[in-house]
Structure 1
Amino acid sequence: MASDLKSENRKHIYWLLALPVLLSAAIQTKTSSISDEWLSLVAIEGTSGALLYAAALLLTNLLPSNIKHKLVFTKVTNEMPAGRAHQLVSIDPRIDINTAAEKWPHVFNENTSEAQRNSLWYKHIYKHVRDTPPVQQAHRLFLLFRDVTSGSAFLLIASLIWLAIGLLGTLPKLHPIIPFVLLTYTALTLIVARNAGNRIVVNAIAEAL
């Protein structure tokens, strides 16, 4: 099912990654003394939908899923939000935490480790409601912005490398505001992905109650 959701997201991934690229290109071309030959090359590649689409798919698939999850939730271990399900449901007005704890005591036991809670949530809750619209919608949004975050992170790294090399005169100088633009964009997509990941957990519990 996740692969189907990823396929549905491809067009959206393309546009969401094209946005910071086009914005960065606009900043660069208006404020930099790039040669006409360089601008021609960028213009040719920038107007090629096929090249941009392929680049977007490449960027979003360079990292394995587990590394993307660590990036989104900024945790090295036990990064999946279901490991913190007992904390997430406590701030969701739809869910009575006492009712949830009575139904799944093994999930909401404070002594359960995050890794165990994640596995128990998946087995006893998520698997039974994963095809419901609220869960699918949150899952689709999570996959979309998780992949956009990873792609945007690569764009940020590339801009920092270009900025450093440009100072040496090997490449045209990159406008220094561009890495900040990409950093801001990456942070925003990360927040959206994290919120969507948290919603998968609470939506699944709300649907299963």
Structure 2
Amino acid sequence: MARLSLKTQNLPMLALVIIAQVSVAYGFSNPDFSWSAIEVFSPDTVVMALIMLLAALFSSLLPASVKHQLVYFRLNNVLPGHRFMQLAAYDPRIDLLSLQHKVMALMPLNAPQEQQNRVWYQHIYQPLQHEPLIKDAHKAFLLWRDSVVVSLVIGLMLALGVIAVPVAAAVFAPNSFFVSVFFALACVLAAHHSGKRMVTNAVVTWLMLPRSNQK
């Protein structure tokens, strides 16, 4: 049986993130509405559905490199793997001297960030990527990274829609995009934590391997 990718496994949760923030923005814009009175096919639900579909579409089309730049507010060397030695120094689970001793066979301790990421990916992460400790953190990182993108897209559509699209202005309040700004900021924090945790979890797992199994 084919194994589902982590991004595919995340789709139900990503859909909930999209639905939740559009629903909150709608409720914020229409405080007197009743969910039980909403019709399946109405101008309001059509506008909401279009926003959700466009957010999902843009998230799937945007390159991963751009998503990483949005999450980490960097243009170059954006991934936590580019700084795995620095991150390891702040993780109490990691014996830094032991890590330095084992890394010296692969790269200088003061290696540039590009080389750090190559070593981390090829020798530490890639052989161990299916270990639960690493896989769970990677799955969470992908979920929150994509949630940042959909939140920004939804916020942009809400901000522009209430200005330039009358049907959207009739559904959402001018300041409803702040709901997506809040979601985006929360997802950035979650993605930051999950990405760094994925990197250090891989290092922890790698250090626990018998020396003969390390690549």
TM class, shorter-chain normalised? 0.7 to 0.9
Kindly indicate which of the two structures has a greater share of residues assigned to helix.
1
Q: Moved runs in structure 1, 4+ residues, more than 3 A?
A: 51-57
Secondary structure of the residue that 2:42 maps to in structure 1? helix
How do 1:20-39 and structure 2 match up within 5 A? Answer: 20-30=21-31
Task: Determine the structure 2 residue equivalent to 1:109.
Answer: 109
1:40 aligns with 2:42: yes
Q: Kindly state the Cα deviation for residue 22 of structure 1 after the two structures are TM-superposed.
A: 0.2
The Cα RMSD (Å) is 2.9
Identity %: 26
Query: 2:47 touches 2:168 (CA, 8 Å); kept in 1?
Result: no
**Cα 1:89–1:72 shift into 2, 3 Å:** same
Q: Kindly state the Cα deviation for residue 43 of structure 1 after the two structures are TM-superposed.
A: 2.8
1:164 aligns with 2:176: no
How do 1:75-86 and structure 2 match up within 5 A? Answer: 75-86=74-85
Task: Encode CA deviations 1:117-170: one digit per residue, 9 max, x unaligned.
Answer: 10111111112211100000001001111111111110111122124336xx68
Q: Kindly state the Cα deviation for residue 29 of structure 1 after the two structures are TM-superposed.
A: 2.1
Task: Encode CA deviations 1:81-119: one digit per residue, 9 max, x unaligned.
Answer: 111111111111110111101011245612x11111101
TM-score scaled by structure 1?
0.84
Aligned residue identity for 2:17: L
Query: 1:6 touches 1:140 (CA, 8 Å); kept in 2?
Result: yes
Secondary structure of the residue that 1:79 maps to in structure 2? coil
**Cα 1:61–1:76 shift into 2, 3 Å:** same
Task: Determine the structure 1 residue equivalent to 2:150.
Answer: 151
Residue segments in structure 2 that go unaligned for 5+ positions in a row: 34-40, 208-215
Q: Kindly state the Cα deviation for residue 185 of structure 1 after the two structures are TM-superposed.
A: 0.8
1:181 aligns with 2:183: no
Secondary structure of the residue that 2:176 maps to in structure 1? helix
1:63 aligns with 2:65: no
Counterpart-to-counterpart distance in 1, 2:137 and 2:194? 5
Q: Kindly state the Cα deviation for residue 62 of structure 1 after the two structures are TM-superposed.
A: 2.6
Residue segments in structure 1 that go unaligned for 5+ positions in a row: 33-38
**Cα 1:195–1:107 shift into 2, 3 Å:** farther
State how many pairs are aligned. 199
Query: 2:142 touches 2:191 (CA, 8 Å); kept in 1?
Result: yes
Q: Kindly state the Cα deviation for residue 13 of structure 1 after the two structures are TM-superposed.
A: 0.6
1:17 aligns with 2:18: yes
Task: Encode CA deviations 1:6-60: one digit per residue, 9 max, x unaligned.
Answer: 111111110011111000011122379xxxxxx93123565x7xx7875553132
Aligned residue identity for 2:76: T
Secondary structure of the residue that 1:109 maps to in structure 2? coil
